[in-house]
Structure 1
């Protein structure tokens, strides 16, 4: 049987392509793989397409299918149950499609893929070439698909071939009135949702006097007609220039629209490898994240749209300064700390001079480090106002060789302009001021805020909520802003328990922590080098406090946006988007969720995604963290991040990691509730050769890990108060198939201590000896089992139970855990001494015999132990007769 099918939720182009394919494969059966779009279902009701013999999937015998003809799709994920027959030997698969390549594309025996507006165009061309006739009804159906997928020939993906196909169908009798009635620009629920996201995320940037709107959305699968949504956004908001970015699958799609001659969007699209017209253009971008594309777009626009700057738009603020009576050495240290080369000298709020690093270094060279800055500062200098022009600024910095130009307003310094600022501006405009479509310049306009107080109150204990509020109140009192960040916020939104709180303060984190500790009577530890602190509460709960990056970056003006940018930069250094969420704690904004990088979206999509393409190069341990988070949360690593991981592994970046860092990440994976999925994923990414090229993560090793987890769970439930180093148990399992030399090399790679190396080598030798020598030999008494297992720690015993091939050793180890290991004699060494036995090695012999007798059930209490001694060692107590009981 030959079957023609298409994608789930078939649209008009899908149906039209099926009808067209039927002309090429007249004996084939038409079958939809799933549901159809609403408009298509309505068309079925009101038309006579049933005459083409469409069959229901449930009425089809898949075993009879020998040829599968796919139209308007080639993705495995979109063909429903037909995926079951793809790998059948001898299956003849033919593919006709116009969509861009995707990761799960099917490769058929025959493939005809063309970048045209509609798949029906491809099939129509074949029909024309073969001289096949098309009835008016067929031509109308095929025209429906053509008009729908090209937006009535207005979409950018429309090609000359689409017009030629339309002409042929019109000559074949296509009813354009019917087409006009059916093809409407009615949006689907999915498209309405995307349009809403575009409007919500849209930010307007003022660049050289031109308002440029940029909107972003992110979806996991490809959504058609994105250009239609951008067009509607432009019309709804009456925008002159709009760029929309959509992350779909493993790439970012850019669509640009412009009404003004100053901006040719085809030039912008060409920068990203796309094209189009001056008023409408698009591009498809791979190997960049959505955040990176947005930044590159802004960079290009700033260089493309030539601005006319003012001093206020170029200056650096807040101003770093020194005072006249500060010593030369102290002022020099300030410049080193903030990595600057010049700064103003301020006295009582007034600027009285300028100084430079070169002057201070020369003074120190001459032994003048203890002299005051006042003695060497420059007092002949010029200042500018906030509206000073670029030419005026250049005249001071270049022509008059002034190293720094203060910007004054109302007799106070509001910023400074350095040569670096000027050079940076000439290279790229640093305008970052953005506002929403509704004119709000607050952070909420561009960081996607929402209030999650209800979630906080629902998920967190009352004392934790109060602690967070106390943090916010203190931050406000100190003139700072405090945020909870990272995994704590992520797990709060996921409704997962996590009280490991990290606080980021826009200000001095150590001052914040010290003040809080003093006011609440708790301990505080701090690290000046990293400007971090740890608050230690009476119940041993700890809260980490850190300062947001405190470098003085160049900003257009001293606006509140400057403060938030420091938080943004702090979050940008984190590993994955889902860990970049921040929770505002200050009064008045408590519970506001701040999302600069689409973390909420990726939580919703259950996707692990890095922030930029060098993330894994900067820290290869993120490879293992991505795998751990993916499996812990049931998420999946984004396609681009997968590609970056594979590339990082190929580059050998994991080999460059220090052993202790690598071990730490592996330990974290091995203490997950079920380490097998992440370990299996590590195998898929070819991570194991970083430890040993001979680790074979095959079915045998997977089966061992299944048994290890079962035994670990058994131990945890059986002995709730007994700690077990789970990572060590699983490490024993991982290395169990390696030769001794390979184990030693792997331990060296992980920088195991000498004690750990000795322990693992001893464990393998001894466990093997017991499993293959001791247990199979004969039925052993409890005392023999106790003596054999007593040298082992619980981790090795758990490993032994999982490694055992039959029930005998597993039962023996279980009995040892439950029955034998805590057995002891009632008589002790002091009793033997009181009984007159001379001290010496005989004590150990007697007590071991008594313990064996206890284990084997030969004695049960103190009196029976005395009787045992009377029978076995009466000579030690003066010959025959009663053995004295020292307790009597």
Structure 2
């Protein structure tokens, strides 16, 4: 008789060639379905077998397919896959009548996915994350060994939380499993492996056999190797190759015995390796996938793979995505001098020439040609005399191959993009070359949910982040703004610091909206719609909408700027969102979130801002940034200090150049003061002040402004004094910047301080504080240090005329703790003490209004300060005595 078969109503299984996540998910499913039998799906890599079968097999209620009575199975639980061809051991159950199928998976949906009665499909880094969440919610108890196996699945499938697919929930469930006793040493030993000599050999073989296929604009790297035996940890070896060569797309095809295993990795969203390998019986994610194939020749598999990639991967870019818009043009009757000036103004190397009064393209000219024209003193001739008239155009749907053929093959400097006789933009030779050589390769890197918007532009949806970080009222306002834009047929974006602070998880304050069109017109329309009011500034195309609740929304037309000379205020022209971002100061401030309903919450990153946020680096957008606007130097230092970022090496060199060449000489003192004040208003401006000195920027304020070691010490004391004040007096306003500033100028003579005040255009109030009151405060401080007052009234008389800023300045400069305590006593206890007695009381006592009133009141205040009186009655009695003693009343 044959062995009695297991009669189980529920069977748990996963895909063949199960990885750690699949096995961990089966264990987790067993905790949710405790009556179930686990059907291990087949071959695993050697280290996986060794670990689970020899060490942890007791955790599983396992059975082989041959030992299960499938006729009794009523429910099939599938984890970590939805593909029928990856579930061959249970193929008979999938189509069994009345079979109840439960599915738990994190892979993207495919057309031929199995459907289940119960489906829990989530975009997490690992399937076991989904099941762990259920275990946590149902409060199912797990042992430390079970927690270890489940955590191992998360660590393996997220690359120890480094893969782009990793989600917040993966971290949360890993923390839950660690709290349940998961052993990190065991996980580390299995996830982090030393490279063996054999693995080094396979890495070399993969590198030597690598072939790069150019497919629809992408580099698809393929290596084919063979081995008589199974190659241990091939996936880890492939990952090493990807890192060594910094590959965007890599397919490893390995013949091992009579089986071929394909392992693929992708960092390009258009190359979905999971979808590609699903056609070969495999599966996975868009960025990581595998497939195992038997009984097909290696060469045939390789060709089938290449054919599938060509069919699956779409053409990388079309002209509409690559072009720069709007195109910068001139009319044919414009002089060569003006053409050269226009190219210099916008930092471009080629310029379209149009027929006067029309959009008809006659040709184009280049900066090289214009430079030669000017050299030969022909600058007054019309540009049409020296333009290139042979010019090809393309439609916005032209692909990269057509663009490449016309620009490189046709030796054309720029390519107009035309539709219905309208000029939409241009594709320049630089645009094309930048794309082809990938001068910024990590612009191609992507995270889950990201896609390419246009060249070097990252685009992803941040709706969930908006919902998490903003109030419901703020999100509703953004949606209302977007809907208003749709109604008017214009694109709207929230931009700049709002987006930066949102991604940095900092408090979001100002709401800056950019309109691709007439910003003032939109602002007026939106204000009317919201029953608010609108204040506009026509020169710069900006407006402020004040809503009924007082909330302000800044609105601006998308604009480009150029500077007629270094440090000049910009000249403004209407533009697109991309060129609007290009005019800004640093990459981290160049992100925009679209608000139109169809694309609401789409973040657009033109210049690698997300990368620089991740690297914690301040970088300019172009090399002439500080030439055009030297105040950006101060802003670089402010942002680096505020966010604890570093200033990029090139940006730092450009700052040094700006100081050396002195681009600040034409900068108004008012603009310098505005930037300096913002730095000094930061929570801790001291690192920024030190950085200013490092670059020699204190000389921009005044050539003779200098710091010493004591200055730094006193700045730290200011920080302590301000922290003390802000803790006790949260709502008391004061000029925070002025206290740091007074320390910075303490070594300067009164003459120099006056020159600084004049240079920075201080208001009369600021001048009085910095020049006159500061000196008086220093003198009074000397008195306090030399002769500490014996009474409260004496202390009060010394300090009563000083503003908050001067008291805090004295606290910072005080050398003795006794003095600081006295200043603290005055500020917290004495300065607001008032007498209760009033003039009518004195009149009742027979005193006539006049100078005597003030003397009596002063004496009563002195008595109250020194605790001689406490009530109104005490004060009246004291006044009576004072009047009798001084014979004020007859």
So what's the TM-score if we normalise by structure 2? Answer: 0.52
Deviations 1:731-750 (A, max 9, x none): 11111222223322322332
Secondary structure of residue in 2 paired with 1:588: helix
- Displacement of 1:546: 0.9
Secondary structure of residue in 2 paired with 1:498: coil
Contact 2:532 2:546 in 1 (8 A): yes
Which residue is equivalent to 2:488?
Answer: 478
Contact 1:837 1:876 in 2 (8 A): no
Structure-2 change in CA distance of 1:149 and 1:860 (3 Å) = farther
Structure-2 change in CA distance of 1:645 and 1:602 (3 Å) = same
- Displacement of 1:784: 1.3
Aligned counterpart for 1:414 among listed residues 407, 412, 422: 422
- Displacement of 1:432: 10
Contact 1:607 1:636 in 2 (8 A): yes
CA distance in 1 between counterparts of 2:815 and 2:324 reads 74
Aligned 1:564-579 pairs, distance under 5 A = 566-579=576-589
Aligned counterpart for 2:542 among listed residues 521, 532, 542: 532
Contact 1:490 1:581 in 2 (8 A): yes
Secondary structure of residue in 2 paired with 1:632: helix
Aligned 1:220-239 pairs, distance under 5 A = none
- Displacement of 1:667: 0.8
Contact 2:452 2:458 in 1 (8 A): no
Which residue is equivalent to 2:850?
Answer: 840
Contact 1:513 1:524 in 2 (8 A): yes
Secondary structure of residue in 2 paired with 1:525: strand
Aligned counterpart for 2:240 among listed residues 163, 188, 192: 188
Structure-2 change in CA distance of 1:316 and 1:472 (3 Å) = closer
- Displacement of 1:416: 11
Which residue is equivalent to 1:53?
Answer: none
2:683 paired with 1:673: yes
Secondary structure of residue in 2 paired with 1:538: coil
Aligned 1:520-599 pairs, distance under 5 A = 520-549=530-559, 566-599=576-609
Contact 1:649 1:687 in 2 (8 A): yes
Secondary structure of residue in 1 paired with 2:725: helix
Which residue is equivalent to 1:700?
Answer: 710
Contact 1:315 1:407 in 2 (8 A): no
Contact 1:203 1:434 in 2 (8 A): no
Which residue is equivalent to 1:760?
Answer: 770
Structure-2 change in CA distance of 1:879 and 1:482 (3 Å) = closer
Structure-2 change in CA distance of 1:741 and 1:651 (3 Å) = same
- Displacement of 1:408: 10
CA distance in 1 between counterparts of 2:655 and 2:328 reads 40
CA distance in 1 between counterparts of 2:883 and 2:432 reads 95
Deviations 1:145-172 (A, max 9, x none): 9x979977999xxxxxxxxxxxxxxxxx
Secondary structure of residue in 2 paired with 1:873: helix
Deviations 1:649-687 (A, max 9, x none): 111123432111111111111111111111112122221
Structure-2 change in CA distance of 1:149 and 1:573 (3 Å) = farther
Structure-2 change in CA distance of 1:429 and 1:650 (3 Å) = closer
CA distance in 2 between counterparts of 1:314 and 1:766 reads 60
Deviations 1:804-853 (A, max 9, x none): 00022211111111221111112122332343322221111111111111
Deviations 1:671-721 (A, max 9, x none): 111111111121222211222344443432111111111110111111122
Which residue is equivalent to 1:736?
Answer: 746
Which residue is equivalent to 1:656?
Answer: 666
Aligned counterpart for 1:499 among listed residues 509, 513, 525: 509
Which residue is equivalent to 2:865?
Answer: 855
CA distance in 2 between counterparts of 1:664 and 1:870 reads 55
Which residue is equivalent to 2:614?
Answer: 604
Structure-2 change in CA distance of 1:686 and 1:852 (3 Å) = same
Contact 1:509 1:531 in 2 (8 A): yes
Deviations 1:775-807 (A, max 9, x none): 422543111111110110000000101100002
Structure-2 change in CA distance of 1:780 and 1:830 (3 Å) = same
Which residue is equivalent to 1:490?
Answer: 500
CA distance in 1 between counterparts of 2:618 and 2:793 reads 53
Contact 2:325 2:576 in 1 (8 A): no
- Displacement of 1:315: 12
Secondary structure of residue in 1 paired with 2:501: helix
- Displacement of 1:625: 1.0
Deviations 1:200-250 (A, max 9, x none): 56999xxxxxxxxxxxxxxxxxxxxxxxxxxxxxx9999xxxxxxxxxxxx
Structure-2 change in CA distance of 1:807 and 1:153 (3 Å) = same
CA distance in 2 between counterparts of 1:318 and 1:684 reads 40
CA distance in 1 between counterparts of 2:708 and 2:683 reads 21
Secondary structure of residue in 1 paired with 2:741: helix
Structure-2 change in CA distance of 1:838 and 1:649 (3 Å) = same
CA distance in 1 between counterparts of 2:689 and 2:510 reads 25
Secondary structure of residue in 1 paired with 2:553: strand
Secondary structure of residue in 2 paired with 1:188: helix
CA distance in 2 between counterparts of 1:775 and 1:387 reads 81
Aligned 1:172-187 pairs, distance under 5 A = 186-187=238-239
CA distance in 2 between counterparts of 1:445 and 1:878 reads 89
Which residue is equivalent to 2:163?
Answer: none
Deviations 1:279-316 (A, max 9, x none): xxxxxxxxxxxxxxxxxxx9xxxxxxxxxx9xxx9998
Structure 2 unmatched ranges of 5 or more: 1-196, 212-231, 251-265, 272-303, 308-316, 332-351, 363-390, 396-415, 437-442, 563-573
CA distance in 2 between counterparts of 1:408 and 1:659 reads 47
- Displacement of 1:499: 2.5
- Displacement of 1:549: 2.5
Aligned 1:354-369 pairs, distance under 5 A = none
Deviations 1:481-508 (A, max 9, x none): 1111101001111111112111111111
Deviations 1:344-380 (A, max 9, x none): 589xxxx9xx9xxxxxxxxxxxxxxxxxxxxxxxxxx
CA distance in 1 between counterparts of 2:327 and 2:648 reads 38
Higher relative CO (Cα under 8 Å, sequence separation at least 6) belongs to: 1
2:520 paired with 1:468: no
CA distance in 2 between counterparts of 1:667 and 1:502 reads 22
CA distance in 2 between counterparts of 1:315 and 1:702 reads 49
* Paired residues, number: 538
CA distance in 2 between counterparts of 1:531 and 1:762 reads 42
So what's the TM-score if we normalise by structure 1? Answer: 0.53
Secondary structure of residue in 2 paired with 1:524: strand
Structure 1 unmatched ranges of 5 or more: 1-140, 156-180, 205-234, 239-297, 299-308, 322-338, 355-383, 389-405, 553-563, 881-888
CA distance in 2 between counterparts of 1:474 and 1:488 reads 20
Contact 1:680 1:697 in 2 (8 A): no
Query: Could you tell which deviates more after superposition, 586-595 or 760-769?
Result: 760-769
How much is the aligned-residue C-alpha RMSD, in angstroms? 5.2
CA distance in 2 between counterparts of 1:657 and 1:830 reads 59
- Displacement of 1:587: 1.1
Contact 1:320 1:344 in 2 (8 A): no
Contact 1:315 1:415 in 2 (8 A): no
- Displacement of 1:182: 15
- Displacement of 1:872: 2.2
Structure-2 change in CA distance of 1:529 and 1:565 (3 Å) = closer
- Displacement of 1:858: 1.7
CA distance in 2 between counterparts of 1:342 and 1:732 reads 61
